[in-house]
Amino acid sequence: MPANLTPVYRKAEEAYRAAREPAERLEHLKEMLRTIPKHKGTDHLQGDIKRWIKELTEELGSGKQGGKKKGPVHTIRPEGAAQLSLLGAPNAGKSELHAKLTGSRADIGPYPFTTKLPMPGMLGFEDVWFQLVDLPPISSDYIEGWMGNSLQPADGVLLVIDLADPDCAEHLQAIIRQLAEKKIFLHGYWPGLRGPKPVPEPTFDEAGEEIIEDPFRIELPALLVANKSDLVADPESELQVLVELLELDFPTISVSAKTGVGCEAMGPLLFKALQIVRVYTKMPGKQPELDRPFTLRRGQTVLDVARLVHKDIAAGLRYAKIWGTEVFAGQQVGPEHQLADKDVLELHMR
């Protein structure tokens, strides 16, 4: 990636990366294209930006003529504490697992390529909801062109394999290769399991300019979900062999979507892996609202909760009173105080 990119461009790029709504991302992409220095060194990047603008414009059905027919939706708007996408080879059991975990009516078929479009569903754990998105399969010779778009809002991936399939190692390698071609990279760093992915040391080109990362690269933590455990005699050792053979560094879980064995562990595992923190708010002198927590991640602060409540509250926030496991009851804390699971917060404004 060439450097020599202006601060204005970098700002647009940062905004693009932070945006989750497709319409918002499209705006930032246009700003990136407008502000990118136009020279040979940025040709490649300009091409990428144009391609993404085209894809998103199609996705949003807002072609130049305005009257273009709206196509199917490939990007699911995130809801709940996190969005997890189900990826895997044809017939691995993604849809059956989706149906089992979320109660969805995902199409399930004993033949490959049953699922054609993304389908959301919600998996509950205690008072937290995770959004699971069932997706079409990836095979050695096919991946949907819009897969990158679809994975943009995802917080993580459930990489579903059919443990009973003798070709499952090859399928897995093919999937990783197909994703890499779309600049999608899976890793095993879930913040609550192995800690967050280390930030690489900066690298420099011959001219001493910092080489910056490709803005369109997607990196996601993945969980290897070994499905159809009901069809193998010893799922754990089978899984172990596969992990060692392919030198995979993803955390694993073995399940049977058919019998439900192992499925109950998914919610608690995601909760831990993503370091979800639940926060309940209360009004002074009133009981906290315990039915609907705000969900954040470990490391997020009182100010982040205020932002979730309302931007005016965030703007006027002075301090909070807090009840929880890591504080004195009713302790007064500032906007930057980091929250712990099940904290109760009373926000005070200027």
Residue 68 or 177: the one with the smaller Cβ distance to ligand GTP is 177
- Least CB distance from residue 176 to ligand GTP, whole Å? 16
Please work out the total of residues on this chain that contact Mg ion, with binding judged by CB under 5 A: 4
Nearer to Mg ion, 122 or 309 (CB): 122
Task: Check the CA dihedral 322-327-330-332 and report its sign.
Answer: negative
Residue 113 CB, nearest approach to Mg ion (Å): 8
Judged by beta carbon, residue 36 or residue 106, the one nearer ligand GTP is 106
For ligand GTP, the closer CB: 91 or 295: 91
Residue 195 binds which one of ligand GTP, Mg ion, none, with CB within 5 to 8 A depending on kind? none
* Residue closer to ligand GTP, measured from CB, 148 or 235: 235
- Give 85-152 as a DSSP string: EEEESTTSSHHHHHHHHH-------SSS----S-EEEEEEETTEEEEEEE----BTTB--TTHHHHHT
57-90 as b/e: b if 16+ CB within 10 A: bbbbeeeeeeeeeeeeebbbebebbbbbbbbbbb
Find the shortest distance in angstroms from Cβ 95 to ligand GTP. 3
| CB nearer ligand GTP, residue 94 or residue 278 | 94
Could you tell me the smallest distance in angstroms from the CB atom of residue 47 to ligand GTP? 31
Least separation in angstroms between CB 74 and Mg ion: 15
User: Torsions phi, psi of 299, nearest 5?
Assistant: 105, -20
What's the min distance (Å) between Cβ of 90 and ligand GTP?
Answer: 4
Residue 300 interacts with, from ligand GTP, Mg ion, none (CB under 5-8 Å by kind): none
Give the whole-angstrom CA distance, residue 321 versus residue 343: 10
Instruction: Strand 294-297: give its sheet, edge to edge.
Output: 294-297, 276-281, 343-349, 317-323, 331-333
Q: Fill in the DSSP letter of residue 283.
A: -
Contact positions with Mg ion (CB under 5 A) in 105-164:
114-115
Q: Which range touches Mg ion (CB under 5 A), out of 21-29, 95-103, 157-165, 254-262?
A: 95-103
Helix (H, G, I), strand (E, B) or coil at 216: coil
Which residue has 């993580």 as its token pair?
156
Phi, psi of 310 (to 5 degrees): -170, 145
Q: What gap in Å lies between CA 184 and CA 25, rounded to an integer?
A: 18
- Which of ligand GTP, Mg ion, none binds 110 (CB below 5-8 Å, type-dependent)? ligand GTP
- Structure token pair of residue 103: 């109660």
> Which residues of the chain form contacts with ligand GTP (CB under 6 A)?
88, 90-96, 108-110, 112-115, 136-137, 227-228, 230-231, 256-258
Q: Does residue number 57 form part of the binding site for Mg ion (CB under 5 A)?
A: no
